[in-house]
Structure 1
Amino acid sequence: MIERKAISFVGAEGNRLTGDIWDGGGQPVVFLHGGGQTRRAWDATARDVARRGMRAIAVDQRGHGESAWVESGHYGFHHYGEDAAAIFRQVHERFHTRPAAVGASLGGLASLTAEMRAGPMLDALVLVDITPRLDPAGVDRIQGFMGARMEEGFASLEEAADAIAAYLPHRAPRRSLEGLRKNLRQGEDGRYRWHWDPAFIKGAVNINSGAEALMQELIAGLPELHLPVLLVRGMRSELVQESHAREFVSLAPAASYVDVGGAGHMVVGDRNDVFASEILKFLGRDQAA
């Protein structure tokens, strides 16, 4: 059995980035979570990847989980891209080979930005329900949910679970609250709040700062992106429409995409079985464990 071990990195501003590694001994695969999530969202997938002989490395991005809240308050997409580039360089230095990357939403755009601005850095890239072209209404809905209880928090884990269930009515009810606990921190007042820096949403340099210009830059550069890319889209996604996916693969020469039925934007949480199978095939390790 491959056990999870701690690993750490230094971000672009000298910021501490906390991670886990499941060391299967081969190709390193860096997992970067979506906005508002933590590295623990990848636990099941990372174990599957490690069992197939790869090194699965999941990292809390700046301001999330156990990674440092940056003093500068810099939480724009391009700052996450700079951190991703720093992680990829350090992984390459430690394991002497280019890593592959799997990025959900924010993590996907961070990985794509790193590759297109500072690459070539990666061996392959999996984008989980994200392209540089996003549905504005979907963005507003996601950020609205994230910000609604950002400061007030929740009186209990049950209250937080009820809020998530209302937001994701298609997902089966949670059998345990322990998984949810990983995404929350309990304050001195006893209330539970999301495990990320509120400046991510409301700071002077938040996730929306410079986002439109960066997205246009990425779209314009896709014809020069020759990296193998797999776009995994949730068929019920509120963020990535089918037309966005088709545009992406038409522009990026080595890109392909697959739809995951029954999944929304949170593809990994909705259908991890299908998701893990697809990325293992893409990474070339779909042989029996």
Structure 2
Amino acid sequence: MRLNTREWGSGDKVALLVHGIMSDSRTWRLVGPALAERGYRVIAVDQRGHGASGRGEYTPENYADDLVETLPGGAALAIGHSLGGLTLSLAVDRLKPERAVFSDPAWRLVQPEQGFDPAMFVEFAAHATRESIAATNPRWAEEDVQVELETLAVWDGATALALSSLTEAAVLPQKPVVPSLVQVADPSFLLSAEDKETLRGRGFEVRTVEGAGHTIHRDDFAGFMASLDGWI
């Protein structure tokens, strides 16, 4: 499936941005322009079931295939957040960016017996208000709260329900396909301290953005950009 895209800048270098679940390309409202100022042409996708892209079967493989069908290969940089990190990791061998950044990636999901139920995303979206989003994300700017309201209004909740099948499929990668940075929230509900050491042992650079929530680029934009030092 060819995905809807949003672009910033016209530089010679290309950067690719892949959002997480319940979001779309608008989540990168600060990151896109910041990278454009650094000489990138920035392309952000709406993954299937999100934003203005089509709907369909929601599997990691389909998400990855969509990226390959939509985005140019050989970009200077690719960044994937949460579900977008998982998607990017499954497409990186075909997209072949020069560098990849996985921002609090969903390589491991909290299992139902540990209190995780994908339906909670659907329930939250169905009753989301400006106040509930702000309360859940107290460090977000008002603009991000508004974007979240708008993205939830066009999000297909079936993408969340499909997460229940992601058990063995979502595991830590064995090695980086290209030079790769893993950004980790503090605390992260997706990556443990042991996971971080495992990833370092497998050749990933791992940096924790202290005090930042799961959506690091919205929770602490300055910290997000600082953690990319040497990678952008």
Query: 1:161 and 2:139 equivalent?
Result: no
Change (3 A) 1:98 1:179: closer
CA distance, structure 1, for counterparts of residue 156 and residue 179 of structure 2: 33
Partner of 1:83: 66
1:54-69 alignment to 2 at 5 Å? 54-69=40-55
CA distance, structure 2, for counterparts of residue 87 and residue 280 of structure 1: 28
What displacement does 1:134 show?
A: 4.1
Equivalent residues of 2:84, 2:105 under 8 A apart: no
* 1:159-184 Cα shifts (integer Å, max 9, x gaps): 6122224434xx23754553334323
1:6-25 alignment to 2 at 5 Å? 11=1, 16-25=2-11
Query: 1:132 and 2:83 equivalent?
Result: no
Q: Secondary structure at the match of 1:110?
A: helix
Partner of 1:190: none
Query: 1:282 and 2:231 equivalent?
Result: yes
What displacement does 1:60 show?
A: 0.5
Q: Secondary structure at the match of 1:215?
A: coil
Equivalent residues of 2:92, 2:177 under 8 A apart: no
Q: Which has the larger radius of gyration?
A: 1
Query: 1:123 and 2:104 equivalent?
Result: no
What displacement does 1:143 show?
A: 3.1
Unaligned runs of 5+ in 2: none
Count of residue pairs brought into register by the alignment:
231
Which of residues 12, 37, 47 in structure 2 aligns to 1:26?
12
* 1:39-60 Cα shifts (integer Å, max 9, x gaps): 1000101100000001111110
Unaligned runs of 5+ in 1: 1-10, 186-194, 284-289
Query: 1:214 and 2:136 equivalent?
Result: no
- Tell me the amino acid that sits aligned with residue 87 of structure 2: A
CA distance, structure 2, for counterparts of residue 173 and residue 20 of structure 1: 22
Question: So what's the TM-score if we normalise by structure 2?
Answer: 0.87
CA distance, structure 1, for counterparts of residue 77 and residue 117 of structure 2: 27
Question: So what's the TM-score if we normalise by structure 1?
Answer: 0.71
Change (3 A) 1:115 1:126: same
CA distance, structure 1, for counterparts of residue 118 and residue 66 of structure 2: 22
CA distance, structure 1, for counterparts of residue 206 and residue 131 of structure 2: 33
Q: Secondary structure at the match of 2:3?
A: strand
Runs of 4+, deviation exceeding 4 Å:
137-142
What displacement does 1:245 show?
A: 1.7
1:114-263 alignment to 2 at 5 Å? 114-116=91-93, 119=94, 121-130=96-105, 132-136=107-111, 141=116, 143-150=118-125, 153-154=126-127, 160-168=129-137, 171-172=138-139, 174-175=141-142, 178-185=146-153, 195-202=154-161, 206-209=162-165, 211-216=166-171, 219=173, 222-223=174-175, 225-251=176-202, 253=203, 255-263=204-212
What displacement does 1:212 show?
A: 2.5
- Tell me the amino acid that sits aligned with residue 50 of structure 2: H
Query: 1:98 and 2:75 equivalent?
Result: yes
* 1:238-279 Cα shifts (integer Å, max 9, x gaps): 22222212211212x3x2011111212111111011112322
CA distance, structure 2, for counterparts of residue 108 and residue 79 of structure 1: 14
Partner of 1:107: 84
What displacement does 1:86 show?
A: 2.0
